[in-house]
Structure 1
Amino acid sequence: MSYYLFDFSDIPLYSFDEVPDHQQGNSYVIRGYRAKLLDRQCMKSVLRLSNQLVNIWTHGGLFILLIPLMIHDHIRLLPSMGASTWDNFSFLIYHVCTQSCFLASAGYHTFNCHLREEVAARWLACDCYGVVTGVTGIYVVTIYQAFTCNKISRICYLTAVVALVLASRRTMLHPGYFSKLWEKYRILHFSTFVALGCLIAVHWCIISTSEELETFLPEVVINFVIIALALLILVTKVPERFSPGSFDYFGQSHNWWHILVGVAFLRWRQFAINYLNYRLNTSCVSSQEPW
C-alpha cells in the first residue's frame, strides 16, 4: 500500500550508518535519511516522508505565513496605531531577518541530502547565518521599542548587536566552523546572542517603571524560557536520546527546536507590537533619559 501521492522510487531512504559522514549529526535518529540526491530530487523530496519532513515544513511554513503577516503589519496594523517611519522600519527589519532565517533553515533541510557534500555545507552555512540574522531582527525591533525613552542605551545596544553580527560573519568564515568538531563551539557562539539578550533584559528591568515591569516582564521571561528550552532540547537530543529510533520521523529534538524557535520569534513580534502601543499612549519619565 502506497502512502504517497507521488512516485518517490528515485528517492530511497537510508539508515544512519548508510549516509555520508556530514549527515551523521544525531546517532539517535536511525532511519528515514535521504542521501546522494541531485538538485531536482532534493526539491522533490520535500514531499517525501523522511526524518527531515517536519524540519523542512515547520520553518518553510513559517516563511510562507510571515509574508501576509508582514503585509498586514505595514499596510494595516502599524498605520492604524500611528507608528512612525522608524517604527515601521524596525518592524521591517524584524520581518526580513526572520523570513531570511526560516527560508535558510528550510533550504538547508531540503538540500542537506545533496550528492555533493560542498552543496550541503553551503546550505549549512546559510542555515547558521540565518539564525544569526533572525536573532538580529528580534533584537532590533525589541531594543528600538523597549528603549524608546533611553536613546543612549538604544544606540549602544543596537551598535553592539551590529558588531556581534559582523564578528559572527567573520567567525563563520573559518574553514572548520561548520565541521562536526566545531559543533560545541557553534552552540557556544549562538549562546552569546542569548547572553547579550539577558544583559539587555536586566538593564531594561533596572530602568523600567513598575507599570512596565508588571505589564511586560512576564512576557520577557516566557520568551527567554522558550529559547532556553529550545537550546536545551537541541543540545541534549531529547527525546530520541531515551528511545533511539522511536522519533525518527516525528517528535525528534530538531523538530521541537524548530517549533519552539518559531513560537519565540512570533511572540517577540507581539511583544514589540504591545510595547509600541504602550509607548504611543505613555509619556517618558525624566529618569529614563528622554532625549
Structure 2
Amino acid sequence: MSRIRFMSMVPPPALRWNEVPVEARELYILKGYRPLSVGVVKSLASAFALHNETLNIWTHALPLIYFAWWTILDLGDARSLQAPGSHHPLYAYIIGVLTLFAVSTGAHLLMSVSWRWRQVCFMLDYAAISFYGVATARAYYHYTGNTEHSTKWYLLATSAAALAATFACCWTRVSQPKSAHYIRTLSFFLPFAFASLPALSRLYVDAYFRLRFLKHVFLLVCGAAVKVSKVPERFAPGTFDIFGHSHQVFHVLVFLGIREQFWIVMDDVKQVESSSSSSPISAFGPLAVLAALMLITLAFFSARGDTPKKNK
C-alpha cells in the first residue's frame, strides 16, 4: 500500500515538444516538458524532478526565502524610525516583493495541474509583477525620492499603468498573438518607469545612489533582453532545455536587480526624516483595491480560451 501511495506521487516522465499542446511549447526548447493535468500532488512533487521548469521554480523559491530571511533580520532596525507610521510604506514594499517571488514560484510549480490552472497561474504571475511595481512606487515615494517635488497623482498613475499591464498580458495569454513576448515585456516597462520617477531626482546629486540604482536598472533590462531574445537556446535548440535556458537566466537577473533595489530601500528607510509618515489606510488601502481589480481582470480572462489546441 505504501509503495502504491509513493508511486502515485511520482511525477510522470517529461515529454518532447511535439507531445504537448502548441500553446505550451517554448521556442527552441525541445524536451523536458511536464505533462498537463497531472494533479496538485504530482505538480508539487515535480519540484524535485528534472524538467524545463525545475530551475524556474527554484530560481524564485530561493530568493523568496532570501528576502523573507533578511526582512526578519533587518526589520528591527527599520522599525526604530521615530515617526509613527513611517514604516507602513516599507511593509507595503516588502509585501510586494514577497508576493512577486511567492506567486512566481507557485505559478511555475502548479501550472501542470491542468490547462485551466496553467492559464490562471500565468495570469497571477503577471498580476504579481504589476503589484510589485506599485508597491515599489510606494517605497520610492516615501523614502527614496524628493517628496517635496513629488505629487500623489503619480501613485494613481502607477496603479493605472499596472492594471493596464495586467490586462494586456492576460489578453496575450488568451489571444496568443505572435508578438506576445514583446507585448508582455513592454507592458511591464510602463509601471516600472512610473515607479522609478521619484528616484530620478537623486541620480544627479547622490553618486552612491546613482551607482546602485543604475545597477538595479541594468540587471532588469538585461533580464528582459535575455527573455525576449531567447538566448542562449536560440543558438543551440535542445541544448539548454533543462539547464541554462533564457527564462532561468531571466529569473536570476530579476532577483539580482530586485536585491539591489531592496537594499536601496532598506538603507533609505533608516535615514528617512521623522516627518515622513503614512497611515495604514494610505499605505495598504490602494494596494488592496488594486489587488481586487486585478483579480476581477483575471477572472474575466480565465473564463476564456481555456481549451488548448491539438498537437501539430
Question: Shorter-chain TM-score: what band?
Answer: 0.7 to 0.9
Could you tell me which amino acid in structure 1 is paired with residue 160 of structure 2? A
* Residues 93, 137 of structure 1: 8 Å contact kept: yes
Q: Where in structure 2 are there 5+ consecutive unaligned residues?
A: 1-5, 275-312
TM-aligned CA distance change 1:180 to 1:171, over 3 Å: closer
Q: Where in structure 1 are there 5+ consecutive unaligned residues?
A: 1-5, 282-291
Q: Which protein, 1 or 2, shows the higher relative CO under an 8 Å CA cutoff with sep ≥ 6?
A: 2
* Residues 125, 178 of structure 1: 8 Å contact kept: no
Q: 1:144: how far off?
A: 1.6
Q: 1:152: how far off?
A: 4.9
Distance in 2, Cα, partners of 1:66 & 1:189: 26
Q: Which secondary structure does the structure 1 equivalent of 2:238 belong to? A: coil
Written as runs of structure 1 = structure 2, the 5 A alignment for 1:195-234 is 195-197=193-195, 199-205=197-203, 210=205, 213-234=206-227
1:28 aligns with 2:28: yes
Distance in 2, Cα, partners of 1:85 & 1:66: 24
Distance in 2, Cα, partners of 1:173 & 1:232: 21
1:271 aligns with 2:264: yes
Number of residues paired by the alignment? 265
Work out which of the residue numbers 176, 179, 199 in structure 2 matches 1:180.
176
Partner of residue 106, structure 1: 105
Distance in 1, Cα, partners of 2:189 & 2:174: 16
Distance in 2, Cα, partners of 1:118 & 1:12: 21
Could you tell me which amino acid in structure 1 is paired with residue 256 of structure 2? V
Written as runs of structure 1 = structure 2, the 5 A alignment for 1:59-208 is 59-74=60-75, 76-80=76-80, 82=81, 84-114=83-113, 116-147=114-145, 149-171=146-168, 174=171, 176-181=172-177, 182-197=180-195, 199-205=197-203
Q: Which secondary structure does the structure 1 equivalent of 2:29 belong to? A: coil
Could you tell me which amino acid in structure 2 is paired with residue 268 of structure 1? Q
Aligned-residue sequence identity (percent) comes to 23
Could you tell me which amino acid in structure 2 is paired with residue 164 of structure 1? A
Distance in 1, Cα, partners of 2:170 & 2:233: 32
Distance in 2, Cα, partners of 1:236 & 1:170: 23
Could you tell me which amino acid in structure 1 is paired with residue 266 of structure 2? I
TM-aligned CA distance change 1:40 to 1:278, over 3 Å: same
Q: Which secondary structure does the structure 2 equivalent of 1:32 belong to? A: strand
Q: Which secondary structure does the structure 2 equivalent of 1:49 belong to? A: coil
Partner of residue 44, structure 1: 45
